[in-house]
Structures are given as C-alpha cells and as structure tokens.
A and B are shown apart, each in its own frame.
Chain A
C-alpha cells in the first residue's frame, strides 16, 4: 500500500479533481513563462522548464513577476492547456484572477488551495497522485514510491 498524506489548507476556488503532481520548488511566472498553445513551461530560469502543465496538479510556492500573468492563464484555458488544480504556499491575486476568469468566460473550474498546515512543496513530489477538494481545502497525496 502506498503512503497517503492529508494536507489541509485555504479553499480559494472550488471543484474536486485528481491527477499527477508537477512540483516546482521555484516561483513560476505565467507571462512568457508558460506557452498557451502547448501548455509547456518555457521559462529557462526554472528547473521545470520543458514540462507540460496540462492536466497536472501544479504545485509551486507563489507567483512572481508580471501582472499580465492572469490573461496568460486565461489563454492557456482557451487552448485547453490548464492544470487540473493549483496548490501554492501563497496564491496571489494574479493566479486567482486567471482562474476565476477561466470559470466565468470558458466555464472551466480549476480548484485552488493555499496556506496549508504543511509545506506542499516539501510534502508533494512530481509524479505523486493527488486528490484535490477545492470546496473544503483538503488535499490527499498518494506517494509514487
């Protein structure tokens, strides 16, 4: 039996999903950082460069850089290349705006949870299977090893 870990955090955007985790230990910028037509991370300054965010439970510390990132998230949604969920240490206004615009304009809901009782960047590893309950702010991690 694989190890299961429960994390509790602040529910920011609703929805219940599950998927494979993609974890970046570094902050991510969506503006010029994620390519909407492919969903690939193209920011050469981060270790996860080249990875695709589509259908992943995307885990990273916080957003950085440009205030334009919200419409980059929205364009990823239009292209069908959004992650299944966002888990952050601290989700900022910019990420949540991109998510809410995706819901209002394209009917795509993306659960978002932050402010966890344990650091998601330390607990979750790329490849882990993660169930996200964005209504309750509860995340269940099944380790991949």
Chain B
C-alpha cells in the first residue's frame, strides 16, 4: 500500500525544500512503505549517531553529502557519544587518522544544526519528550528510556535514518507509534528482596535474554527506584536482548493505573529470584579474569548523582599504582561538578573523566596495558569482552572502587 503524504511532505519529496530533505524523504519512504507504514508522523526530537566507530567512512561521507546538499535539522537533534574524548585523545594515544575522521563527523553534525551533545542520555540534557509524544531516537538505551520512563513513542530508529527524521521532522509511522502495539506481552515478577543499584542492571540482563524483543510488564519494582536505576534496567534489557519498551507496574507512566496487558493473557511469564540474580551476576564475568587493570563506569553516561556518589566513595583514597579508573559522562555533568570542585578532587585522586565519549564505540587505548576490566554497568559487561578482547569482572560500584583504589 502506498504511503500517504501531506502536501508539505510531498513538496519535500519533490525537492521543493532542497536536495537534503528530498534524499531524506526518499530514504524514509523506501524503508517505511514495505514495513507497513501508511503515513509519516511528526516528531518533536531526534537522537542521532555520528561516532566514527559505527559510522565509518561510509557514514562520514553520507553526513558530508547531506551538508553539501544544504541539509539543516528542523527539530532538536542530539547524538550518541563520540568515538574519542575531544580534549584528551592526543595525550591518551588515540590514532590520529581515526580522530580526524571523528572530527570531520563532528564538523558535519554542527553544520547540519545538531547540538554538541555527544551523549547516550539526551534526557539529562534537556531532550525530554512528554507522555504520548512521538520522537525518533536511535541508541537502544535511550529508546528504552524514552518509551518506558517517559511514555514517549519511538521505534529503534537506526543510525542513518535518524538524521533523515531530523532534517524533515518526520518518520514513517508504524510499530511503537501505535497504542495497540505498546501493550505488555510478557509478565515478569521480581521477588528478590531489597534491590541494590547493581540488581537493576542484572534484572535488565535477565529480561533481555528471556524476552528478546517482546514488551515485558515488570511487577515488584518499587516506586522509590531512581531514574538511574531505570536507566540501567532499560539499557541492559536493550543490549542483552532487543527490548525497546517495558512497563514497571506502578512506576512507569503507561502502567501506573491501568492493566498493561489490557485483559489479554501474557505470552510468557517468569519470576526473577535472588538466586537468579546471583547466578546471572556470576555469568556476566568472563572465565579467566586476571588482576584488575581498569575500572570503567558510566554506560549509559553517569549522572550528576552517580558521580557525586563515586566522589564520596573515592574520598580519602587514591587510584592504585598501575591501575586506572575512568568515568564516562556528559559535558553538562562534568561542568557542573567542576564548579562544585568535585571533579578536581577526583582527578587529584587519579580518576580520569571521559567526557562525551564511550568505550563501547571507541578503541581501548593503552597498547595492551588493560587486560582485565571491572565494571558496574551491565551494558558494558555485555559488550566489552567481545569488542575489546578483554577479561571482565561485573560488580557493584563499591566493590569496583575498592578494587582500584587504596587509602591515601
């Protein structure tokens, strides 16, 4: 069935609003029509991607082409972390050609009118869609947060398609943009006593592995769960499976008052016990960890609250000789905590702030220095061993800090 366009959308497709919008419309129609979209929908924001680690030369040239065509974003557009730390790549030993390719991508996204955001957590940078609003976000963890925590609507928008949405303010309407496709399909009950911060990661991992791309309704998450807890739960379910939307009953907006199944029977049902959490925690550690060389945290990017907590754990201690501790975060959190003096204190203790970048999508520098990593992020634990060929230990924030620091 042909996708119906409004007169403005038809004008964009016909090239009346420039070559870039025309190409963007053409790509979106060729993708949306066969997948069953009958129309386009307007979006209020876009999370795109412009890191060289995933865009490569082809993506660099694609964004360059959109710039040459006069492309300009018409809705607020943020993008995932960069593949290098902009201020410290040279001293840390990142490859120069690789860094230059990232800088070229950076130049293109600025010319296209995206914000200099470079984070997987656009929702702490002011990109906050309301309940029921349509957005076109890439980044599986951000998609999960937008759909589940805000009750906004987005499919898992691919890199390369998100920019088309930013240039036109439109996306093909299908899948999670429709009410009836947002109902719960799987019933998950958490019965594991009091939940620690790490438990929220582990719950996400268990769910992602079990449900694939189904929509789970989770019972047993307390209303006191922090936004950071929900961030990790969603990020882990999205990286160990393909969960784009989940409901925590009594917590998230689409399952606050109403039955998330709307009377239908769940396709599958299971309970997460303390025993399952403990076993899963162990299974996320690789088989032959050696001595820990490096603690990485902030996947998704650490919030102000998390960095403040880390600073309290590090207080009076320093990073041990031969070990390192990296915190991945936004420029916003880093700047605010610099003004509070917290960043300087941590840097004096030997902690490195990794601003606007991410280890999942960038090379691990250090010439083979780092063989065994420790992390309190379930998403890091899912991705880093195969991506960097390293051993990994998955543990709580407290255990991680204890492992790599000592009393001064």
Q: Which residues of A contact B (CB under 8 A)?
A: 10-13, 27, 31-32, 36, 43-45, 62-72, 74-75, 77-78, 92-94, 96-98, 100-101, 103-106
Contacts and interface: CB of A to CB of B under 8 A. Distances in A.
A58 to B, nearest CB: 18
B283 interface: no
B27 A101 contact: yes
A64 B80 CA distance: 19
Contact of B58 (A27, A31, A62, A77): A77
B242 interface: yes
A97 B156 CA distance: 11
B62 A105 contact: yes
B26 A104 contact: yes
Contacts of A70: 158-161
Given A72-B54, A105-B62, 10 more contacts: A44-B386, A64-B213, A69-B158, A71-B159, A74-B62, A75-B56, A93-B175, A98-B158, A105-B61, A106-B58
A92 B174 CA distance: 12
A13 B32 CA distance: 11
Contacts of A45: 386
B161 A105 contact: no
Given A64-B241, A71-B49, A71-B59, A97 B158 contact: yes
B35 A96 contact: yes
B31 interface: yes
B55 interface: yes
Contacts of B49: 67-68, 71
Interface in B127-185: 138-140, 143, 155-161, 175
Contact of B160 (A13, A27, A101, A106): A101
A103 B31 CA distance: 11
Given A74-B62, A93-B161, A104-B23, A68 B56 contact: no
Given A71-B49, A92-B156, A103-B30, A12 B242 contact: no
B239 A65 contact: yes
Interface in B291-343: none
A43 B386 contact: yes
Contacts of A106: 58
Contact of A94 (B30, B158, B212, B239): B158
